[in-house]
Structure 1
């Protein structure tokens, strides 16, 4: 057995590395590796039974970690996408597949089972691609997550149904109800244990502070629950899922998940490799035309059906298309169900080989489909979202469309909300474009000038008066949206001031080249904030820190990759830090300087800086006299070096701000 494991893992490393270079999913690499070393390939593995046992452990751990990842809080956050989106997608897709399977001559139980494995999509591949693109928190990312979460949960009842679908009598209602009744009783029992026993057991295990004990305890809970479900006539995998669910709601669920993850990855790899060993390329080449039609039909059918589902939940055609193209593949849990189907004679050898070929091909196509989706979305008819938005009451009010010299905020997440609040307090006109209909409804209820719309459509931007806006701020971090929106807005108006948010500094130069005036990269801003706070701890003046930040921003994100500042940058820093500069300072109500004269303040002697002008009630007082009494909301124009200005700021700041 050691020889087989050595061959399997060595081959897997080589194949997955090649697939990584080709930017193909690792799961597809593992399946292909199984084919290479299996009986239909180089026939390097002869003891398949031992591999099958390890693969079964992989399935158990896979369901266990899915249970660990399942969070009731996360379900509540995206409950609409999970309950409505997931159920609609499974219903429409499985019904479509069932009709086609029945028309092809399959018996009803076989058609039902085949339709279920066809409806599932790959959680592992899709979420990893979306995470790498920074789209998890986008409207289509949240909807995809909800649909995939529902699919993962739907696997559990399908595993219960599989043994009941085979046999001469087909699907029988009474045995099915008995099986579901057992499952519900078991779930109720385990959840009771989760509330009263599992937290106490984990508490005692954690107190030992030994990693090995925690791992063993989690494995015992997993295996024990799986054994209990098997003893009751249910599947091992169902028990593992329930065990993971029981632990997930404890305070130690994240730590258990982190400890189990390496074991899950190893055994899951064996599972996918064992599935790949059954892949017969001779069968695929013999039926190449038929399989090509099935692959194309699977992708097109799932894109359309998932897109219709997403369109029912969101007024955005773009979001619907992105969702459809993301989940157009057959998923990893379909392999779990397919193995059950083979065991219970629901899939014959030809059906199983056809399923494997279609599943592997669609999984390999997933990254390409997701990357092409934004380009396809751009070619949707311009007026489509406008007509549908008008029907649903999501279009801007006449007041929004008549705005002048305003700011357009794209996205109403945390950044958009803060910006809107500051603009409102400053009496600056603004309007908001948002793709989440629930967010739009909630914000409209509070009086926000918000409307639904895909900002990458010029027609939508015109509806919020792009022609007379002063600033366009893109607060969403989706790089595809940022690229498209900057290009459209700059092409339409050369004088519009564009501010763009992005996650990674790598995109900064590209967005500037497209026409952005300011690019705020989270990665870059975090770096400047970190070194700013480090310098502050060494008592470097705040104005000097700001000079560093401004200089580095002018140099661009490439400077962060250099080991030291180039000579040109150092010279700029010396120029900025030398000589006198002028800054404005707003005097707050709780400033210690309020009520004092300039003579009493004695700023020149205490700090070295000089007040050269004061602006009060829109009137400027140049060279104010020593008996000038300072008042709240005065704007002081102060001249001095950076260090002098920093000392002056400390003198004028309220005590609370100085402490902070």
Structure 2
């Protein structure tokens, strides 16, 4: 039985969503990132995989809106003043990288036997890195707002701008001289006019429009207006022969200082995520496996050579402009691929007769495969780059310490514990491995020593054997368990108090025989609960009694749980908050690790 047209369309939507839902979590679980998951899913369901789709270009045409919305959100984060500060990176670093990589890759094309114009167009298409892939990876790594990330964003913006003169050059380099493609000066004038029109609308129209719509108190209208701004700016730039993504970015920048900025970001974000994923699926579908099978030695060699040469160019420019080795290597790995604008440029070059359809298909396959390799290149950085060595300037290594109290870990928990010890006048030795935290503590008059408290030699030199008590305040449960076992084995007579992560961790520590443990969120949660009761009108005395009763019942319940384990009959002063015993919900509590039907005193 055949489905009607509407049914086939619904099947296509279900297949797209299903492929993404299956592939992306799987690839992220394997540590390969979401981008590679989308590309693999697109390849699997495309015309050269299971054949659910026969025309990936139609999907790409719609999915490009995901890139457009992504650039709009980036623009919202880039105030004009901030963008002005990046002008050196955009027009200095960006131009230097495009010129250097373009020259190197053009040389590769000439050596491969391409004509001058064809080698130049092939090279410049590969120079334009994938904004979508790079920004997605930066976002997943949490580096988009860092100084290094901002320099990469600047390069991507310049490359987006470069598509305009490159498309004009495609007309000029055409064998016929580009006469049939119109006057390039007229095209440039139209492009400038569109940019000026967008700037004028952003300056005098957008904010009054959103104030008017906000007064109507219609959420769906604000959503429609946000989409109108993004798509309208993209359309205006496309009419001017520019990049749609650049138009959306400019619209975002113009609204970045608007009072409606956060509202706009919230309205566009859901559409951005879905459409950007659809874009990556479309790119995966576009990979012509039959062409790859026929020309795989040529395509594989081109991918390797183009990515290596471009990486060398990116690294050389970065180092020439005084970037560190680590930053230059990271930038080279992130920007080694071709990008989505290569499809546009190669299409224009093929239409102008600069190279034939076969060359265009091979180059397109090279770009797509390079995009798929990018997440793997980023993963390879873990092995290429050594772990950063912390600066020891102003930091002393623990040696021959003799404090009465040894504190391991000087994070937010350890800092508060330290105050109590110092207020009592006790001699304190503190170990931590965060050199920045150690230097910050010194500014406040607290001496913290550098040392890994999970090593027995470091504990000995820190005076653990003669300490009155060892306070373990680190926040990694596995490291805590290792340290407790180490202390109990090497220093059995020293008292140990431990910061526990949750109730399950507390039980494990109790069975190790520590002298005291407390969940890190216990007292703050109890204080919060008591304050909340007072806020809603419960008398102060009654609120205190309720919280004290919770503490008492939980302490008794905890002792029963420990007694049922390895330490029957042992009385411990543990304070642990859990779900009320008379609750009716049998689902496990995330914080306590037990159900509401757990045994209670």
TM-score strictly above 0.5: yes
Please show how residues 139-154 of structure 1 align to structure 2 within 5 Å: 145-154=146-155
**Contact residue 144 and residue 150 of structure 2 kept, 8 A:** no
**Contact residue 76 and residue 252 of structure 2 kept, 8 A:** yes
Question: Closer, same or farther in 2 for the Cα pair 1:395/1:5, shift >3 Å?
Answer: farther
Question: Closer, same or farther in 2 for the Cα pair 1:18/1:202, shift >3 Å?
Answer: same
Please show how residues 473-512 of structure 1 align to structure 2 within 5 Å: 473-474=473-474, 483=478, 487=482, 491=486, 494-495=490-491, 499=498
Which residue of 2 is the match for residue 159 of structure 1? 160
1:596-616 deviations in Å (ceiling 9; x for gaps): xxxxxxxxxxxxxxxxxxxxx
- Residue 353 of structure 1 deviates from its aligned partner by 0.9
Which residue of 2 is the match for residue 544 of structure 1? 549
**Contact residue 19 and residue 29 of structure 1 kept, 8 A:** yes
Question: Closer, same or farther in 2 for the Cα pair 1:120/1:23, shift >3 Å?
Answer: closer
Question: Closer, same or farther in 2 for the Cα pair 1:67/1:454, shift >3 Å?
Answer: farther
1:577-629 deviations in Å (ceiling 9; x for gaps): xxxxxxxxxxxxxxxxxxxxxxxxxxxxxxxxxxxxxxxxxxxxxxxxxxxxx
Q: Aligned to 1:62, which of 55, 70, 87?
A: 70
Gap runs ≥5 in structure 1: 131-135, 137-141, 572-660
Which residue of 1 is the match for residue 228 of structure 2? 220
228-237 or 213-222: bigger deviation: 228-237
- Residue 210 of structure 1 deviates from its aligned partner by 0.5
**Contact residue 60 and residue 240 of structure 1 kept, 8 A:** yes
SS in 1 for 2:389: helix
Question: Closer, same or farther in 2 for the Cα pair 1:294/1:120, shift >3 Å?
Answer: farther
1:299 and 1:547 map into 2 onto residues whose CA distance is 66
Which residue of 1 is the match for residue 126 of structure 2? 114
Please show how residues 361-372 of structure 1 align to structure 2 within 5 Å: 361-363=373-375, 369=379
Q: Are residue 19 (structure 1) and residue 23 (structure 2) matched?
A: yes
Number of matched pairs: 518
Please show how residues 137-536 of structure 1 align to structure 2 within 5 Å: 145-165=146-166, 166-167=169-170, 198-284=206-292, 328=333, 335-345=339-349, 348-363=360-375, 369=379, 373=382, 385=389, 389=391, 394=393, 396-397=395-396, 401=399, 403-405=401-403, 407=406, 410=409, 427=425, 428-430=428-430, 433-434=433-434, 436=436, 449=447, 462=458, 466=462, 468=464, 470-474=470-474, 483=478, 487=482, 491=486, 494-495=490-491, 499=498, 520=519
Which residue of 2 is the match for residue 578 of structure 1? none
2:498 and 2:309 map into 1 onto residues whose CA distance is 37
**Contact residue 228 and residue 239 of structure 1 kept, 8 A:** yes
Q: Are residue 8 (structure 1) and residue 9 (structure 2) matched?
A: no
2:517 and 2:43 map into 1 onto residues whose CA distance is 51
Question: Closer, same or farther in 2 for the Cα pair 1:415/1:484, shift >3 Å?
Answer: closer
TM-score of the pair, normalised by structure 1: 0.58
- Residue 292 of structure 1 deviates from its aligned partner by 7.4
1:64-102 deviations in Å (ceiling 9; x for gaps): 2332355799999xx99x999xx9999899968975774
190-199 or 48-57: bigger deviation: 190-199
1:152 and 1:411 map into 2 onto residues whose CA distance is 36
**Contact residue 104 and residue 310 of structure 2 kept, 8 A:** no
Please show how residues 574-613 of structure 1 align to structure 2 within 5 Å: none
Q: Are residue 560 (structure 1) and residue 592 (structure 2) matched?
A: yes
Which residue of 2 is the match for residue 574 of structure 1? none
1:260-307 deviations in Å (ceiling 9; x for gaps): 22322333333223222211234445666787788899699979x99x
2:198 and 2:550 map into 1 onto residues whose CA distance is 57
2:448 and 2:244 map into 1 onto residues whose CA distance is 50
SS in 2 for 1:560: coil
- Residue 505 of structure 1 deviates from its aligned partner by 8.0
1:301 and 1:501 map into 2 onto residues whose CA distance is 50
Gap runs ≥5 in structure 2: 113-118, 174-182, 351-358, 559-574, 579-588
- Residue 240 of structure 1 deviates from its aligned partner by 0.6
- Residue 231 of structure 1 deviates from its aligned partner by 4.9
Question: Closer, same or farther in 2 for the Cα pair 1:446/1:155, shift >3 Å?
Answer: same
TM-score of the pair, normalised by structure 2: 0.63
**TM-align CA RMSD:** 6.0
SS in 2 for 1:117: coil
- Residue 216 of structure 1 deviates from its aligned partner by 1.9
2:508 and 2:349 map into 1 onto residues whose CA distance is 55
**Contact residue 225 and residue 243 of structure 1 kept, 8 A:** yes
- Residue 420 of structure 1 deviates from its aligned partner by 6.0
